[in-house]
């Protein structure tokens, strides 16, 4: 009996981790010796974008396309010499994946990307960050015509659309396919000799280009360029498709141009603090958000304490502007993993205590400002507040480095259903009462725009970012969801 993977039946996340989660990270490289090593390192750096599973495809003239896809961390699956020897070649792509809370049942290994398809003119592999919002109707149409789906993933549509395209080259077929697809998608793909990168016309999800030696790299974030010593070249532009081969890089524009709408939550939480977006480190942006928050929502207090680890940069910014001392009043257990396999009731009930402990001596008798990046369901926030009060804090003030999260994301982020979002049904004051804290303040949407560099704040007529999770304004109609009964704010009004 093969051992169950760590997310099999019985696995429990006792943390009630109350975050939105990016669902994927993608990485590709061409023109380097042992591409798989580069991809493994890159995916390790992108692991925060997806921890459930990962996959690598490489191509080598002798062995053809080789694929390894596994559940678990990159460092456990893609570092040993035996596995890497199965992935020869100078060209390859990789993917890390987070499981979606809404998925019925379990992810099967067949749902793990990259996906591979054999076409009449040769094979192609594809990996995708984002979400195809019309996947259900595409799938129905393709099955009707005789395509056989092997996974429950929306991304598989792209491969079938490519298989049915009448175009002669794979890049041409990919253009055909992507023009049928709606939603947010940053794609890396490969043929026997080409590395391809595409960003959807709105550029919702990130994708950057780098060089390493004579080779080229595509990655969701710049932190994955750093780990392999690659030089950052530029971001792939919204609506751009790059095709890289021995002959060099070709930039194409297969889509009708649109104004870009990058995901603002990448700044708030998804991206790694050491990645750069728009020329500034995400860490600095988050510090700026904390600073803005201190200006918008000051409070008399003795200690600014981050909710580790994601609230840390904003807490540092808040402390600097407010002048209140910064201190690590909550300590994170670094040996904590994401889930437990069939734990005892008692251990299950420990919840957040397994991961966080209050620094009692530091907090005792103090008025504490807790800075967190976001509040989703509010479950963890309540527990943290209790821990802080148990430890003898005099007052607890929550300061949140994003506006209230009131709408689900349909562009590749794992969000609870709208009913589960605390902000969907409560005002700020109601939330404060619900959490039982002395004060609760979120940064304003305009404040957030200012902190990310839009000095004039949000352009309500034509927002510079995708902020649907805060505003309910969806830049792409979530067709499959609407079909299932979802009513967006616009539709509701």
Q: How far apart are CA 472 and CA 140, in angstroms?
A: 28
Q: Identify which of 337, 435, 432 has the alpha carbon closest to the alpha carbon of residue 380.
A: 435
Q: 475: which DSSP letter?
A: S
Shorter beta-carbon distance to its own copies: residue 81 or 461: 81
414 known ligand binder: no
Shorter beta-carbon distance to its own copies: residue 367 or 441: 367
Count of residues engaged in binding its own copies, rule: CB under 8 A:
91
274 known ligand binder: no
Q: Are 203 and 266 in contact (CB under 8 A)?
A: no
Give the DSSP letter string of 113-162: SPEEEEETTEEEEEEEEEEETTHHHHHHHHHHTT----SS-TTHHHHHHH
Q: How far apart are CA 247 and CA 352, in angstroms?
A: 53
Shortest CB 383 distance to its own copies, Å: 13
Contact map string, positions 273 to 312, toward its own copies, x by CB under 8 A? xx-x--xxx-xx--x---------------------x--x
Residue 269 touching its own copies (CB under 8 A): no
Q: Which of residues 228-267 bind its own copies (CB under 8 A)?
A: none
Q: How far apart are CA 72 and CA 236, in angstroms?
A: 29
Residue 59 touching its own copies (CB under 8 A): no
157 known ligand binder: no
Shorter beta-carbon distance to its own copies: residue 356 or 469: 356
Q: Which of residues 407-466 bind its own copies (CB under 8 A)?
A: none
Q: For 235, how many CA atoms within 13 A lie in the half-sphere containing its CB?
A: 21
Q: How far apart are CA 447 and CA 79, in angstroms?
A: 43
Residue 323 touching its own copies (CB under 8 A): no
Residue 167 touching its own copies (CB under 8 A): no
Residue 163 touching its own copies (CB under 8 A): yes
Residue 159 touching its own copies (CB under 8 A): yes
Shorter beta-carbon distance to its own copies: residue 332 or 489: 332
Residues written for the chain: 493
Q: Of the ranges 194-202, 323-331, 373-381, 401-409, which one interacts with its own copies (CB under 8 A)?
A: 323-331
Residues 6+ apart with CB under 8 A from 487: none
Q: 236: which DSSP letter?
A: P
309 known ligand binder: no
Residue 179 touching its own copies (CB under 8 A): no
Q: How far apart are CA 482 and CA 490, in angstroms?
A: 12
Residue selected from 30, 39, 45, 198 as contacting its own copies according to rule CB under 8 A: 45
Q: How far apart are CA 387 and CA 390, in angstroms?
A: 5
Residue 82 touching its own copies (CB under 8 A): yes
198: its two tokens? 């595409």
Residue 73 touching its own copies (CB under 8 A): yes
Shorter beta-carbon distance to its own copies: residue 279 or 485: 279
Shorter beta-carbon distance to its own copies: residue 172 or 446: 172
Residue selected from 333, 417, 427, 459 as contacting its own copies according to rule CB under 8 A: 333
Shortest CB 279 distance to its own copies, Å: 8
409 known ligand binder: yes
Q: Of the ranges 66-74, 180-188, 378-386, 440-448, which one interacts with its own copies (CB under 8 A)?
A: 66-74
Residue 322 touching its own copies (CB under 8 A): no
Q: Are 201 and 256 in contact (CB under 8 A)?
A: yes
Residue 99 touching its own copies (CB under 8 A): no
Q: Which of residues 362-401 bind its own copies (CB under 8 A)?
A: 362
Residue 212 to residues 43, 223, 225, 233, Cα–Cα distance (Å): 16, 14, 8, 10
17 known ligand binder: no
Three-class secondary structure of residue 211 per DSSP: strand
Enclosing H/E stretch for 174: helix 170-180
Shortest CB 270 distance to its own copies, Å: 14
Residue 354 touching its own copies (CB under 8 A): yes
Residue selected from 247, 256, 361, 462 as contacting its own copies according to rule CB under 8 A: 361
24 included as an active-site residue:
yes
Q: Identify which of 177, 188, 179 has the alpha carbon closest to the alpha carbon of residue 46.
A: 188
Q: How far apart are CA 311 and CA 321, in angstroms?
A: 16
Place of tokens 């009043």: 329
Active centre residues (catalytic): 24
Annotated binding site for [4Fe-4S] cluster: 263, 409, 466, 469
Annotated binding site for Mg(2+): 310, 372-373
């Amino acid at each position: 009996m093969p051992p169950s993977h760590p997310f099999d039946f019985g696995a429990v996340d006792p943390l009630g981790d109350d975050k939105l989660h990016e669902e994927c990270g993608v990485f590709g490289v061409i023109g380097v010796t042992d591409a798989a090593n580069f991809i493994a390192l890159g995916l390790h750096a992108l692991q925060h974008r997806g921890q459930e599973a990962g996959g690598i495809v490489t191509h080598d003239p002798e062995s053809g396309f080789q694929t390894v896809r596994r559940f678990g961390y990159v460092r456990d699956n893609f570092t040993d010499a035996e596995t890497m020897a199965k992935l020869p070649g100078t060209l390859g792509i990789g993917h890390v994946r987070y499981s979606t809370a809404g998925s019925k049942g379990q992810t099967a290994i067949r749902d793990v990307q990259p996906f591979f398809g054999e076409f009449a003119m040769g094979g192609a592999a594809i990996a995708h960050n984002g979400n195809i919002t019309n996947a259900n109707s595409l799938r129905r149409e393709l099955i009707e015509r005789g395509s056989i789906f092997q996974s429950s993933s929306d991304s598989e549509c792209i491969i079938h659309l490519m298989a049915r395209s009448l175009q002669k080259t794979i890049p041409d077929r990919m253009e055909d396919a992507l023009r049928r697809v709606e939603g947010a998608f940053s794609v890396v793909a490969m043929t026997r000799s080409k590395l391809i990168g595409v960003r959807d016309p709105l550029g919702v999800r990130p994708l950057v280009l780098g060089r390493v030696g004579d080779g080229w790299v595509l990655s969701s974030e710049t932190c994955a360029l750093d780990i392999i010593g690659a030089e950052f070249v530029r971001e792939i532009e919204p609506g751009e498709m790059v095709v890289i081969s021995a002959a060099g890089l070709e930039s194409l524009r297969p889509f009708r141009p649109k104004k870009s709408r990058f995901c603002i939550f990448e700044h708030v939480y998804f991206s790694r603090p050491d990645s750069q977006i728009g020329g500034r480190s995400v860490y600095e942006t988050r510090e700026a958000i904390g600073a803005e928050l201190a200006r918008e929502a000051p409070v008399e207090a003795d200690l600014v304490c981050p909710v580790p680890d994601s609230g840390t940069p904003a807490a540092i910014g808040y402390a600097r502007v407010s002048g209140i001392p910064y201190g690590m009043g909550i300590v994170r257990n670094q040996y904590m993993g994401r889930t437990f396999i069939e734990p005892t009731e008692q251990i299950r009930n420990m919840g957040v205590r397994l991961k966080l402990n209050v620094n009692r001596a530091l907090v005792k008798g103090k008025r504490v400002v807790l800075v967190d990046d976001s509040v989703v369901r509010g479950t963890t926030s309540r527990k943290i507040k209790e821990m802080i009060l148990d430890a003898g804090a005099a007052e607890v003030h929550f300061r949140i480095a994003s506006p209230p999260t009131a709408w689900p994301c349909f562009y590749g982020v794992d969000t609870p259903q709208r009913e589960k979002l605390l902000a969907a049904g409560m005002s700020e004051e109601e939330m404060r009462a619900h959490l039982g804290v002395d004060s609760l303040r979120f940064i304003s949407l305009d404040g957030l725009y200012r902190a990310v560099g839009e000095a004039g704040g949000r352009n309500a007529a034509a927002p510079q970012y995708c902020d649907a999770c805060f505003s309910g304004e969806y830049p792409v109609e979530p067709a499959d969801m609407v079909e299932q009964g979802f009513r967006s704010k616009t539709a509701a009004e």
